[in-house]
Structure 1
Amino acid sequence: MTITSNRPAWLEALEHDGVAVVPAAIPPAEVAAFEADAYAWLGTFGYDPLDRTTWKRARLPPAWRTGMYSSAAHEAFVWRLRCVPGILAAFASAWDTSPETLVASFDSINITRPLGKFGRNSKATKPWPHLDQDPGRAGLELYQGIAVLSDSGPNDGGLCVLPGSHRLHSEYFKAFPPPPWKPNRIFRIPARGMAWYAARGVTKRKVEAKAGDLILWDSRVVHWNEDPIGERIRLAAYVCYCPRSLIAEDVLSKRVQLFYTRTWTNHKPFLAVAGKECVPRLAEPEETDTLVRLIGSSVEDST
């Protein structure tokens, strides 16, 4: 007798490989709106993707790893993306909860120009394999996500992972005991660590996806990003959610304060590690019921 599962294929992949692509989680109209607003946001700094004479670092906001912009964390167009029902439904399925229980990170976006004649002349970013999860925690800590807003093929840069590395998390840190770790830090995997994974058959995969897809991965999965080398600018947004029940009350209160001071956070909604203030340059976010829940407040408190 054949037993079939009603679970979508991407959930099976998320469990087995630690990474999955959720197809068409973001409607095409939302993808187009994000692209237009992202370029309009860059335009407030003097950058025009259609005018190569403006393709200078002085006309771009401060970035990490050449294209990660935390200063857009509270722009209206970024919050509109965080509230997309397809993204919330996917995270809710991964956590086995309802979308109404989720709380979001106040995270960065990614606008990375390709290397070479179609983009920037700087050197390629070196691979930086890392984990965001606490090395001392054995079980799942978080599902991380990337909203894919431009096609991500073999030459378009984007997420690289070691599929299955989540199942070796505890074993790895027995072989390589970690130094003291702070919750607002990433944990880098050195060359000898990558060789350790390779010896166990765990090797790199560049995750390919279409604009409108959502990439999810287990926070125990070793990952990093690559620069685009084709003709397309990479557009993406980092989206992370967890159930409200995983967050302490004092952290929920802190999150609300961080929202109203327009402060960005790292990937972990349950920690609310604060970055810098980032006052919106285009438009302030609309405080819909969904947004209020996602910051960790309650709709009743906001009425």
Structure 2
Amino acid sequence: MSLLSYGELLCSFDGKNITLSRQKDLTWSPWPHCDQNENRKGMQCFQGLLNYQPYSTKDGGLILMKGSSKLFDELFAKKREQDEHEDKPPPEEETRDLFIFKEEDVKWFESRGYTLQKINIGPGDLVSTSCSPAQIFTHMLCRYLGTAERCKYAAHPQGDLIRHVQYVCMTPPKFAKEQDIKLKSELFHDSQGTTHWPHYNIHKAGPPLRNGKLCPKNRTEPLEKLIITDRILQLAGVKAC
């Protein structure tokens, strides 16, 4: 599968992940998942990560089932219930693009020859994976190509390095609806972000709260202003290619 075969692509306005190592104030458990709703079929979104640190076995990073996105439609040909993980979407968000697998689902992949792999990568490495089945994010980034259907989750770092990655996600413009592109354009000009999905699940965010009050450290624009070019506007979907 090649991103280039899809021609022009829309990009997300995604965030960074900065995870401190050896944190004692957090509880963590594996959450194998895919970032694609089970009702979406086939390739819909390419998820990517740009890595800033050298990561080895104890530093956390990406854990994935390479190639598992090919089984996405087969997996959900049968109705499946999500695991009761603390990050499971609430019932009112049943269309949200997150499905957390139960242990039996992971074994389903394993019975077909797929295994979870931890990927070690270096600074500047770019990972692109699909949102569908078996990826696992273990706080890092790599060179693998995939889609939102792949199975994955994040492992907490055990070493001394701080996890530092930038999310870069892409999708073919043909999947985008006109109203979503319009809303995305508004978010771009308001310096707001999207989810991993460049063309869907686009929502305006309210100001962050701290102890029930507006956070005094909130900013409405970045400290370093973006240099806007025609190409950036095209990638964002604000301007036609």
Q: TM-score range by the shorter chain?
A: 0.7 to 0.9
Deviations 1:84-128 (A, max 9, x none): xxxxxxxxx514245xx332112120111111xxxx223452111
Aligned partners of 1:263 and 1:274 also within 8 Å: no
One-letter amino acid matched to 2:225: E
1:203 aligned residue (104, 115, 140): 115
One-letter amino acid matched to 1:297: V
Q: Distance in 2 between matches of 1:299 and 1:220?
A: 28
Write out aligned runs for 1:64-103 (5 A).
Answer: 94-98=3-7, 101-103=8-10
Percent of aligned positions that are identical:
28
Aligned partners of 2:11 and 2:198 also within 8 Å: yes
Q: Distance in 2 between matches of 1:223 and 1:139?
A: 17
Q: Distance in 2 between matches of 1:203 and 1:124?
A: 25
Write out aligned runs for 1:189-228 (5 A).
Answer: 189-217=101-129, 218-228=147-157
Write out aligned runs for 1:105-254 (5 A).
Answer: 105-115=12-22, 120-123=23-26, 125-177=28-80, 182-217=94-129, 218-254=147-183
Change (3 A) 1:197 1:207: same
The structure whose Rg is larger is 1
Deviations 1:32-87 (A, max 9, x none): xxxxxxxxxxxxxxxxxxxxxxxxxxxxxxxxxxxxxxxxxxxxxxxxxxxxxxxx
Q: Distance in 2 between matches of 1:205 and 1:126?
A: 17
Change (3 A) 1:267 1:288: same
Change (3 A) 1:272 1:171: closer
Aligned partners of 2:183 and 2:202 also within 8 Å: no
Q: Distance in 2 between matches of 1:191 and 1:165?
A: 16
The equivalent of 2:209 in structure 1 is none
Change (3 A) 1:275 1:232: farther
Q: SS at the partner of 1:293? A: helix
Q: Distance in 1 between matches of 2:78 and 2:114?
A: 16
Q: SS at the partner of 2:57? A: coil
Unaligned runs of 5+ in 1: 1-14, 16-92
- The TM-score, its normalising length taken from structure 1, stands at 0.61
Aligned partners of 1:154 and 1:208 also within 8 Å: yes
Question: CA RMSD for the aligned pairs?
Answer: 2.4
One-letter amino acid matched to 1:283: E
Unaligned runs of 5+ in 2: 83-90, 130-146, 207-218
The equivalent of 2:86 in structure 1 is none
Q: Distance in 1 between matches of 2:14 and 2:204?
A: 10
Change (3 A) 1:245 1:262: same
Q: Distance in 1 between matches of 2:75 and 2:240?
A: 43
The equivalent of 1:50 in structure 2 is none
Cα drift, residue 154 of structure 1: 1.1
Cα drift, residue 214 of structure 1: 0.6
One-letter amino acid matched to 2:34: L
Change (3 A) 1:219 1:226: same
The equivalent of 2:187 in structure 1 is 258
- The TM-score, its normalising length taken from structure 2, stands at 0.75
One-letter amino acid matched to 2:195: N
One-letter amino acid matched to 1:174: A
The equivalent of 1:291 in structure 2 is 232
Q: SS at the partner of 1:262? A: coil
